[in-house]
Chains A and B, each alone.
Chain A
Amino acid sequence: MNTIYIIFLIFLGGAVFTYFAGKIHKVLQDILFLVSILVPAYLFFANVEIGQNVNLTLGGISLSWGINYFSWLFSLIVLGLGSLAAIYAVGFMKGEKRRGYFYFNFILSIMAMTGILLSRDLVSFFVFWEIMTWSSYLITIYNGNKVQSIGIKYFVFSAIGAYAMLMAIVMVHHITGSFLIGDMIHAYPAMALSMQIWIPIMFLMAFGVKAAMMPLHVWAPGAYSNAPMAYTSVFSGALSKMGIYGMTLVLVTMVNHIPQGVWFREVLAWLGGITAVIGTLWAIQQDDAKKLLAYSSVAQLGYIITGIAIGTELAMLAGLFLAVMHALFKGTLFMVVGAIEKQTGTSNFTEVTGLIRKMPWTFLSALLAIIALAGIPPLGGFVGKWMLYESLITSNHYLLVIVIFFASTAAFLYCYKFLFGFFMGQEEKEWAHVKEAPAVMVLPMLIMALFMLVLGTFPGIILNPINHGLQALGYADSYKHLWDTSIILNSWGNKVVLQPILYSIAGIFLFFIAFLTWKGYKNTRFISTKDISSSGEVPKEDENLTFSVGFMQPFYRAVEPAMRRQIDKYYNAFADGLEATFEFLRRIYTGNGQTYAIYVIVFVVVMLLFKDFLF
């Protein structure tokens, strides 16, 4: 049997067995869960050859599964992050209820994402897409009835997107007579103009929903923040990348071949930029870390969309590299929040403070992830951001670059808020009992943090596969020689040499740390955070002076006019209006049998009156 079948069988069987194993023993369930994620991941990377295809026929539709360099790149995100998140999830779900339910859907969504990447035909793509949607939906509503409306919002948006995609798929099938992606791509340039425009739009709707693109992003903050954090790291890190994956395919293989494609790309790029700004502004406002990260995810996905939409080689590299980085750092950050929530029971900045000494490893990974998120050298986020800016500037998107820059500068505010809110501030008696999260949770975070650090100086590790992927999509290969020397270069010939920068930063940093530590070492003492200079007053032990309510208020006051209008409100008004209409419509069924009988007569009479028109 082909490895691809084995992978899916393990996923499926593992999901079912894991679900029921909880009835036998909890540890067995954990082990089964890990096995059913890690073994397929191993098999995938070890045994699935790039370019190999398996074909099968189901329900009279010929399906094809296989992998190319481009999807292999995304499978790195999915299975890599998925495996780490799975390890983390074992720690996270310890002692939680409904573990079987969670594990089942976790495995299924990983399977679905793998399936999406393996699909070479539209039907299995759609099937896996929908499985991914509902399994992630089921995890989103894991926390019970208070998240019901959030979950339904997520599902409705996903469904609208997916159904748009379904329309596109069947239209493609109508035109080409085949469901294979390759056939679609071949037939696309010869299609009628309206099809050439509508098919990508409908595909992009589906992908835009998953990639949380404005104005389809309103589900994302709620869904990201209410799913269990062990899953949200996958949700935001990997699942949203499926939207990016599809978007890239549509843009590169279809839209680029028509002259109107430039409009698609401009519009998408701007939507991405606006998404970034909106996400950032709202993230700054949040007092709940989950919400903050959720909005931040929306913003980060905006950058990625912009990069992909610009579509030059550098921009593609930037977008895809940012996608990988986003998976890493947002995965880590959601895990951090999960660990904190697990240890303290809350994820609200106004409640938890001063955990830095209680959870040092968690803090370290959070710190590195935040630095990467903010795009500050020498971590990986900078490489992506740099390439994004350079590609925007060199492709003359000078206003867009300002928008993006504004978003990423404002991102510092929430970056700092995140770190400060949890780890800084006064250490409280209330949280004195808090311990570092168990190793099984800390380890995945640290591994990812390490990756971010390495990628900041040696981005070639990821840029090489990206390059392969781009070549598979038909891009030239103008930057390949750089990765070994860890230089990033734009198309005007300006560059950043990463290695000396890392060494300089490390050298300077270590020198001054040494200076600060060594100088007067004997007379330097550690004092508690209660011992602060607050006009001679001594804060009591149970008194918390940490500044955490209304944290970024000055900034908010400056941007408030822009934030009064929420897209969400319009959607809600629309939904309310619809429901009112439905309520009105169903009053046709009056409940009076005679009325119904009269309807019959009326029906007949109307038919008879319009018979010449109808028949």
Chain B
Amino acid sequence: MDSTLFSYLDYAVYGTAVIVMLIGFYGAMVKKSLLKIVIGLSVIDSGLNLLIVAIGYYKGGTAPIFSQGFLENFKSVSKMTDPVPQALVLTAIVIGFGVTAVALALVIRLYRHHGTLNIDEIKNLKW
């Protein structure tokens, strides 16, 4: 594979992540439905996770798994992709899941009380 092509691809991954995030932001900031907002927030998370994983990857890296003979072959260490972002993404996904769950629970509660999912009408608390 051509290296320049790969670097384009690299940018493409970053770009995709950013675009996904922007879509998420659009959903969260512009859409009036509570559900769409929650979905937007999740999409932001997904984009972000994609970005993080992309940061940790580099060309030709192997999976960062410790195996037998790891210490003897020092080269293999440098060929591994960075494990830390992956670990972080795992955590972030879990947290994002939790937050989404809470948000959805609240959406249910709000719908029960207000009878609507339009965020513009849920403005009891202001000023």
For chain A residues 579-593, which have a beta carbon within 8 Å of chain B? 586-587, 589-593
B50: Cβ under 8 A from any A Cβ: no
B66: Cβ under 8 A from any A Cβ: no
Complex CA gap A586/B28 in Å reads: 24
A597: Cβ under 8 A from any B Cβ: yes
In this complex, what residue of B is CB-closest to A587? B127
Of the listed stretches B9-17, B68-76, B116-124, name the one at the interface; the rest are far from the partner chain.
Answer: B116-124
Complex CA gap A589/B123 in Å reads: 10
B48: Cβ under 8 A from any A Cβ: no
Contact A593 B126 (CB under 8 A): no
A192: Cβ under 8 A from any B Cβ: no
Contact A593 B124 (CB under 8 A): no
Contact B120 A589 (CB under 8 A): no
Smallest beta-carbon distance A317→chain B, Å: 58
When distances are taken between beta carbons in the complex, the residues of chain A under 8 Å from B123 are 590-592
Contact B124 A592 (CB under 8 A): no
A52: Cβ under 8 A from any B Cβ: no
Please tell me which one of the listed residues A586, A587, A589, A594 contacts residue B119 in the complex, with CB atoms under 8 A apart: A594
B63: Cβ under 8 A from any A Cβ: no
Contact B126 A589 (CB under 8 A): yes
Q: Specify which of A589, A592, A594 lies most central, judged by the most chain B CB atoms within 10 Å of its CB.
A: A594
Complex CA gap A428/B28 in Å reads: 79
Complex CA gap A67/B30 in Å reads: 70
Q: A597-B28, A601-B29 are in contact. Are A592 and B120 (CB under 8 A)?
A: yes
When distances are taken between beta carbons in the complex, the residues of chain A under 8 Å from B127 are 586-587, 589, 591
Contact B29 A597 (CB under 8 A): yes
B43: Cβ under 8 A from any A Cβ: no
A598: Cβ under 8 A from any B Cβ: yes
B125: Cβ under 8 A from any A Cβ: yes
Complex CA gap A589/B37 in Å reads: 20
When distances are taken between beta carbons in the complex, the residues of chain A under 8 Å from B32 are 594
When distances are taken between beta carbons in the complex, the residues of chain A under 8 Å from B57 are none
Smallest beta-carbon distance B116→chain A, Å: 13
In this complex, what residue of A is CB-closest to B121? A592
For chain A residues 336-355, which have a beta carbon within 8 Å of chain B? none
When distances are taken between beta carbons in the complex, the residues of chain B under 8 Å from A589 are 126-127
In this complex, what residue of A is CB-closest to B119? A594
Contact with B along A589-612 (1 / 0, CB 8 A): 111111001100100000000000
When distances are taken between beta carbons in the complex, the residues of chain A under 8 Å from B28 are 594, 597
When distances are taken between beta carbons in the complex, the residues of chain A under 8 Å from B29 are 594, 597-598, 601
In this complex, what residue of B is CB-closest to A591? B126
Complex CA gap A598/B29 in Å reads: 6
Contact B37 A594 (CB under 8 A): yes
When distances are taken between beta carbons in the complex, the residues of chain A under 8 Å from B126 are 589-592
In this complex, what residue of A is CB-closest to B30? A594
Complex CA gap A592/B31 in Å reads: 13
Smallest beta-carbon distance B122→chain A, Å: 8
When distances are taken between beta carbons in the complex, the residues of chain B under 8 Å from A591 are 123-127
In this complex, what residue of A is CB-closest to B41? A597
Complex CA gap A598/B28 in Å reads: 9
Contact A592 B125 (CB under 8 A): no
Smallest beta-carbon distance A11→chain B, Å: 45
Complex CA gap A590/B124 in Å reads: 10
When distances are taken between beta carbons in the complex, the residues of chain B under 8 Å from A601 are 25, 29
Complex CA gap A594/B123 in Å reads: 11
Contact with A along B21-63 (1 / 0, CB 8 A): 0000100110010000100000000000000000000000000
When distances are taken between beta carbons in the complex, the residues of chain B under 8 Å from A594 are 28-29, 32, 37, 119-120
Complex CA gap A590/B119 in Å reads: 12
In this complex, what residue of A is CB-closest to B123? A591
In this complex, what residue of A is CB-closest to B126? A591
Complex CA gap A589/B126 in Å reads: 6
In this complex, what residue of A is CB-closest to B25? A601
When distances are taken between beta carbons in the complex, the residues of chain B under 8 Å from A597 are 28-29
Complex CA gap A592/B122 in Å reads: 7
Smallest beta-carbon distance A541→chain B, Å: 61
Complex CA gap A592/B124 in Å reads: 9
Complex CA gap A598/B119 in Å reads: 13
In this complex, what residue of A is CB-closest to B124? A591
Smallest beta-carbon distance B42→chain A, Å: 14
Complex CA gap A597/B103 in Å reads: 15
Complex CA gap A590/B125 in Å reads: 8
Known: A591-B123, A593-B122, A601-B29. 13 other contacts (CB 8 A): A587-B127, A589-B126, A589-B127, A590-B123, A591-B125, A591-B127, A592-B119, A592-B126, A594-B28, A594-B37, A594-B119, A594-B120, A597-B29
Q: Can you spell out 13 A-B residue pairs with CB atoms less than 8 angstroms apart?
A: A587-B127, A591-B125, A591-B127, A592-B120, A592-B122, A592-B123, A593-B122, A594-B28, A594-B29, A594-B119, A594-B120, A601-B25, A601-B29
